[in-house]
Structure 1
Amino acid sequence: MLIIDFMAPPLPHYIVSGLSYAEIGGRHPSRQNIGAFDLLVVIEGCLFVGEGGVDYEVKEGHALILRPDSQHYAYAGCVEETKYYWLHFQILSDWRVIDEESYHQNQWKTSGESTPRNLPLPPFTTTSYNVALPQFIKLAQPLKIIEIISELTQMNQNIHLSSVRLKQQALFQEVIVLLSSSIGADGPSSQTICAERAATYLREHYREEFSAKKLGESINFHPVYIARCMRKLYCCSPSVYLLNLRIEHSKLLLVQTDLSMERIAEAVGFNHAAYFTASFTKIEGLAPRKYRQRFAWRKE
């Protein structure tokens, strides 16, 4: 499987969609460098489309995304009456096409304990995230995605209205989510399940004293295995994940409350204010008091 991989924001942008029919012997148009992605979702029958030297049989319930910078062609005519939706969209950030193995290797790549993933987001900063779309796939929820594209297509008659175009863009993101989720339709691995359960436990109990043994007993995995899984998925050990989690929660309290350093340290799970201050300074590059002052407003 090939994966179209990009960073958001910005989110992919819907352009236009439509419903097409192909008689027996009919073919999808052969084109090159069309400048937009072309999503094909087959409702009935089968399309025979190739791109980049790879031939695809796009059957009922399958989807194919044709790239804007490549040549695509029909390598055979339809052998039965075929009905399909097409949808043109654009990815406004840099994107790449990689194979599935490389994609999963990147997902598991460890970048070091200083940059743990999937912590609470910074309260005042926009952060990017990775989005992956399968170029060709059997859809996990074909009826749902067909229903949404049908609604998008019906809205085209009122596309002159700004309110309708805004609704289209919002609705189109559901298509992106459904396509992306089809990659993992077979379910998460045992390592992912272990790491995610551990992260959930730590998020719910971050105020409590950490115990690797208690964590293992709570989610029914051995502490050594938990640590290995979290390093793969979140790029850090459970203790480092917890430390960064506490720091992120403390940042909200520093900005949104007038609590003392001692009270904030206690509220997010630190036993000593001095250790909280040292940890915060090491991770953020400035002391918590300085962080609070950055957002403070003083009347002139």
Structure 2
Amino acid sequence: MDSAILHFISPPIPYFVDCGYAYYGVGDSHIERDCIRVFDLIVVRKGVLPIGENGQSWEIQEGEGFILLPNGHHYGSAPCTTDTEIIWIHFQTYGSWKLCLDMNECMGNQMELIEEHKRLAYLNHADVCSIFLPKHMKLSSKAMEVLETFFQQEQEPQSLRNWKRQASFQLFLQHLDRDLASPTNDTAIQLADRIELFIRQNYATEITNSVLQKKLNYHPNYLAKAMLKVYGMTPMTYLQYYRLEQSKRLLLQTPWSIARIAEEVGFHHVSHYSSFFSKKEGLSPSGFRRKFAKQR
């Protein structure tokens, strides 16, 4: 199913707020609302729901889901022509998100969205990743099974129920994210994940395209293509990015010298590290430390 894609950066992972059922008889329409400030995931269990948002209209069929935006104008685009039953789930995020036309647009804007995310979510050095959710989706049987667990927990005590629903919601998002990938994308995702894991575990050592080729048994061009598709950057660019993020962690959490931090994260020359850091962050490593580290 062709659909726009909601691109989220995490952590924090989009979090569950509330859920429930709604029923529409023949002639009933979805309620009209403006800027409800939460994402509204609607899943049709029975019937067909005509829905509109910001001047566009869709018909959500049985077994399909649709995500309404927190800042949109929502309404029934037409009365229901058959008895219809839906599940609704409200969720939200403190991080960055963007509605994109397709995966190419998601990848093209990924680094810009990550940088915005760090400002919004107050994350200066955390490892972040992308979550992709289709706006309009056909739900797999596994995703539907997870969805039903939200209501099987109704008899649990409130505190325990909320914990379980949050866990179920994250599992549900994982299914949506993975179901979005085509077989070609899934292969790229698996390979990109292997590259990312190797870099994360070995970033302080000497890593080159030749090293990656030897360890992963793929030509560097193929490795770069997979990383560009999934992370929006080549393995070598990701390596520099990851080293930079780890150096921020050390700047904030240790009293080590700039030279030692540069060496610890894999930069051979402190001058190269300082220049690279300043270019990417707009201030020097020592300036970053003065701005963000607490007084010791």
Tell me what 1:136 maps to: 137
Q: TM-score, normalised by structure 2?
A: 0.70
Partner of 2:51: 51
Which residue pairs with 2:253 in the alignment? 256
Distance 2:106 2:164 in 1: 31
1:84-141 Cα distance to aligned partner (Å, 9 max, x none): 552253658898876xxx221222326789x89999x944789896652443312343
SS at match of 2:267: coil
Deviation at 1:32, TM superposition (A): 4.2
Is 1:104–2:103 an aligned residue pair? yes
* Residues 118 and 234 in structure 1, CA contact (< 8 A), matched pair in contact too: no
The letter of the residue matching 1:297 is Q
> Could you tell me which residue of structure 2 aligns to residue 246 of structure 1?
243
Whichever of the two has the greater Rg, that structure is: 1
Q: Which residue of 2 aligns with 1:14?
A: 17
**Which residue in the other structure is 1:180 paired with?**
176
Instruction: Report the CA distance between 1:222 and its aligned residue.
Output: 0.8
Instruction: Write the mapping of 1:214-225 to structure 2, written as runs, cut at 5 A.
Output: 214-225=211-222
Contact 2:42 2:87 in 1 (8 A): yes
Q: Distance in 2 between matches of 1:202 and 1:169?
A: 34
1:271 Cα offset (Å): 1.9
Q: TM-score, normalised by structure 1?
A: 0.69
Q: Is the 8 A contact 2:32 2:74 kept in 1?
A: yes
CA contact (8 A) 1:27 1:48 kept: no
Q: Which residue in 1 is equivalent to 2:186? A: 189
What one-letter code is carried by the residue in structure 1 that aligns with 2:148? I
Total equivalences in the alignment: 273
Give the CA deviation at 1:277: 2.2
CA distance in 2, matches of 1:227, 1:182: 21
2:44/2:60 contact within 8 Å kept = no
Of residues 215-224 and 191-200 in structure 1, the stretch that sits farther from structure 2 once superposed is 191-200
Q: In the aligned structure 1, how far is the partner of 2:123 from the partner of 2:234?
A: 21
How big is the shift at 1:213? 1.2
AA aligned opposite 1:71: G
1: CA distance, partners of 2:129 / 2:75: 27
Q: Contact 1:4–1:132 (CA<8 Å) still a contact in 2?
A: yes
Partner Cα separation in structure 2 for residue 284 and residue 33 of structure 1: 44
1:291–1:260 CA distance, 2 compared to 1 (3 A): same
Given the superposition, is the C-alpha separation of residues 123 and 195 from structure 1 closer, same or farther in structure 2, using an over 3 Å criterion?
Answer: same
Q: Tell me the distance in 1 between the aligned counterparts of 2:225 and 2:7.
A: 27
Structure 2 counterpart of 1:57, one-letter code: Q
Q: 1:247 to 1:143 in 2, by over 3 A?
A: same
* Map of 1:89 onto structure 2: 90
Letter in 2 for 1:108: M
SS in 1 for 2:204: coil
Q: For residues 127 and 207 of structure 2, what CA distance do their matches in structure 1 show? A: 30
Gaps of at least 5 residues in structure 1 are none
Q: Distance in 1 between matches of 2:232 and 2:102?
A: 16
What's the counterpart of residue 297 of structure 1? 295
Name the SS of the counterpart of 2:252 in structure 1: helix
SS, match of residue 271 in structure 1: coil
Relative to structure 2, which stretch is displaced further, 174-183 or 248-257?
Answer: 174-183
Aligned residues of 1:116 and 1:241 also touching (Cα < 8 A): no
Paired with 2:174 and 2:58, the residues of 1 have a C-alpha distance of 24
Q: State the identity as a percent.
A: 20
